[in-house]
Amino acid sequence: EVQLLESGGGLVQPGGSLRLSCAASGFTFSSNDMSWVRQAPGKGLEWVSAISGSGGSTYYADSVKGRFTISRDKSKSTLYLQMNSLRAEDTAVYYCAKDDGSGWHYFGYWGQGTLVTVSS
């Protein structure tokens, strides 16, 4: 059974940093592209970043480019999102997600989400 378990969310001041983790199990981690998707309170879904299975290719939304860094650790089957220079508008539930075989970059599997609050 595929499981994605996010952690690392919390309250951080504007300009601060936070690192999110997503522990993956139930599939071959290194064979799957992974993404982060966020949802601000009461708002819609926003794709944030993706990384290829090998880690050699990364992609970012313009809203986070230069501030966020996605990475993965094959030995720990864990996906990361390093978030720097955080802003109030980064406040959201952050989900890690992957495909379910339907096609690359469709999200058939999601974690439960971790809440990031950027506030002074």
Q: What region, left, alpha or beta, does residue 8 occupy, with left being phi > 0 and alpha being psi -120 to 50 degrees? A: left
Q: Check binding of 47 to other proteins (CB under 8 A).
A: yes
Rule CB under 8 A: say whether 36 interacts with other proteins.
Answer: no
The span of 11-19, 71-79, 83-91, 109-117 binding other proteins (CB under 8 A) equals 109-117
Are the C-beta atoms of residues 116 and 92 closer than 8 Å to each other? yes
Phi then psi dihedrals of residue 77, to 5 deg: 50, 50
Q: What is the DSSP letter of 89?
A: G
Site for other proteins in 50-89 (CB under 8 A): 50, 59-62
Q: Which residues bind other proteins (CB under 8 A)?
A: 35, 44-47, 50, 59-62, 95, 97, 100, 102-108, 110-113
